[in-house]
């Protein structure tokens, strides 16, 4: 309120503007107040929700993988990582996101069975002269409260180092480990040299981009060849073919039981068609290395040949017609045994034309 004669209201008296932290870092998670702000101010847009689901799907799969999050300055990458850390470490954090997208409740239930060790590494807190594996393993060691495993880098590979850490993590009751690394691009840009690389950081990321482009090209071609709609086109046609239509009509005769019937053919077709994928894998590859159908590069599908299913349909028709020959069966169908001209021939199922 203004004092004196001027009793009018100020904007500040009517509108409360919450404190907003414009730059978020993983280090902010150490402050409970900032942690709450990170969660309460996180907005699930369509693109963010898709990326989050891709990460959570990978975590539920129980198989290790790496995800590189790209975005312009200020686009919310650190905010995303901070929110993900809170979800994995504090089960109560899910409520804020499930209220925005109820289908995330399924991930909340699935991840409740996991106990991840979550290591948050904010590279802006480290000098470019440091080695990134030292930084990461140092944070893991700090969380575990253990002594450094190795100090001689020349005699132990990175694989040995992380393998030993993995053993300790499992011994401590964790089901896995999630390492969140923030500002990795800036960190590498500030480096004057890279151990074992001997090249400019830009060349490393350009090489990664070339690898990603080549992988995507190979994957999309293999996916189309193995699971694309074209491979299943002839199987689809069988469902609408005349022989299959005849087999379906013959299958209505309940007193006839044959080996090759409509149900056996449908099972064969279903076991084949369940492998087709109508999605474009290019939509999934930026976030994960495989299409949502689960197809992996190098995988080959063994499908029952179309010719074999066609022969089964023909066999089903022949077996049914053969089973209709006994007079007892004909009597059940027609009310009397087949007689008259052509009685020595198989029963004809053609309808007579009306005069």
The pLDDT assigned to 351 comes to 43
Q: What is the DSSP letter of 117?
A: E
In the numeric block, the tokens 């030292």 are attached to 134
- Closest to 297 (Cα-Cα) out of 206, 204, 205, 214: 214
Alpha helices in 11-154 (DSSP H): 11-14, 32-40, 46-60, 77-89, 94-98, 105-111, 132-144
The larger pLDDT score, comparing residue 126 to residue 239, is at 239
Q: What is the pLDDT of residue 136?
A: 82
The Cα angle at residue 204 between residues 179 and 139, in degrees rounded to 5: 20
User: How much is the pLDDT for 342?
Assistant: 43
Query: At residue 273, does pLDDT exceed 60?
Result: yes
* Beta strand residue intervals within the chain, DSSP E: 116-122, 176-182
pLDDT tens digits, 46-62:
888 888 888 888 888 76
Closest CA to 47 of 112, 101, 124, 8: 101
- Averaged pLDDT for residues 1-9: 56
Q: What is the mean pLDDT of the chain?
A: 78
Cα gap 262→248, rounded to integer Å: 6
Sorted by sequence, the CB contacts under 8 Å of residue 50 that are 6+ apart come out as: 287
Under the banding of pLDDT at 50, 70 and 90, the label for residue 276 is very high
pLDDT over 90 percentage in the chain: 15
Confidence check: pLDDT of 180 > 70? yes
Percent share of the chain, pLDDT over 70: 77
Longest dimension (CA), the chain: 119
pLDDT band per the 50, 70, 90 thresholds, residue 220: very high
pLDDT of residue 339: 52
What pLDDT does 213 receive? 84
Q: Tell me what the mean pLDDT of segment 326-354 comes to.
A: 56
Task: Tell whether the model's pLDDT for residue 104 goes beyond 50.
Answer: yes
Query: By CB neighbour count within 10 A (0-12 exposed, 13-18 middle, 19+ buried), where does 250 fall?
Result: buried
Q: What is the DSSP letter of 283?
A: G
């Amino acid at each position: 309120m203004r004092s004196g004669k001027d009793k009018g209201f100020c904007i500040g008296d009517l509108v409360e503007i919450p404190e907003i932290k414009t730059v978020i870092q993983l280090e902010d998670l150490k402050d409970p107040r900032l942690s709450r702000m990170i969660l309460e101010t996180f907005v699930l847009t369509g693109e963010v929700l898709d990326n989050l689901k891709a990460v959570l799907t990978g975590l539920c799969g129980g198989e290790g993988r790496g995800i590189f999050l790209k975005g312009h300055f200020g686009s919310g990458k650190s905010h995303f990582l901070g929110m993900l850390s809170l979800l994995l470490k504090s089960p109560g954090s899910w409520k804020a996101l499930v209220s925005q997208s109820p289908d995330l409740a399924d991930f909340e239930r699935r991840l409740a069975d996991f106990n991840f060790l979550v290591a948050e590494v904010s590279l802006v807190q480290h000098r470019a002269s440091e080695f990134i594996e030292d930084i990461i393993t140092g944070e893991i060691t700090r969380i575990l409260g253990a002594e450094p495993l190795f100090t001689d880098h020349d005699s132990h590979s990175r694989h040995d180092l992380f393998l030993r850490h993995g053993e300790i993590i499992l011994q401590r009751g964790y089901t896995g480990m999630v390492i969140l690394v923030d500002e990795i691009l800036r960190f590498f840009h500030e480096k004057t040299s890279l151990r074992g690389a001997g090249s400019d950081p830009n060349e490393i990321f350009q090489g990664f981009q070339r690898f990603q482009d080549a992988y995507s090209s190979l994957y999309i071609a293999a996916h189309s060849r193995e699971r694309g709609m074209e491979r299943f086109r002839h199987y689809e046609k069988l469902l609408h073919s005349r022989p299959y239509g005849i087999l379906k009509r013959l299958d209505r005769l309940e007193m006839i039981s044959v080996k090759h019937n409509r149900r056996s053919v449908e099972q064969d077709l279903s076991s084949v068609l369940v492998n087709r994928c109508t999605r474009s894998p290019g939509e999934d590859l930026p976030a994960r290395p495989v299409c949502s159908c689960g197809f992996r590069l190098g995988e080959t599908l063994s499908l029952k040949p179309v010719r074999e299913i066609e022969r089964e349909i023909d066999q089903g028709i022949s077996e049914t017609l053969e089973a209709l020959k006994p007079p007892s069966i004909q009597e059940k169908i027609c009310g009397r045994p087949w007689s008259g001209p052509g009685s020595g021939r198989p029963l004809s199922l053609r309808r007579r034309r009306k005069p």
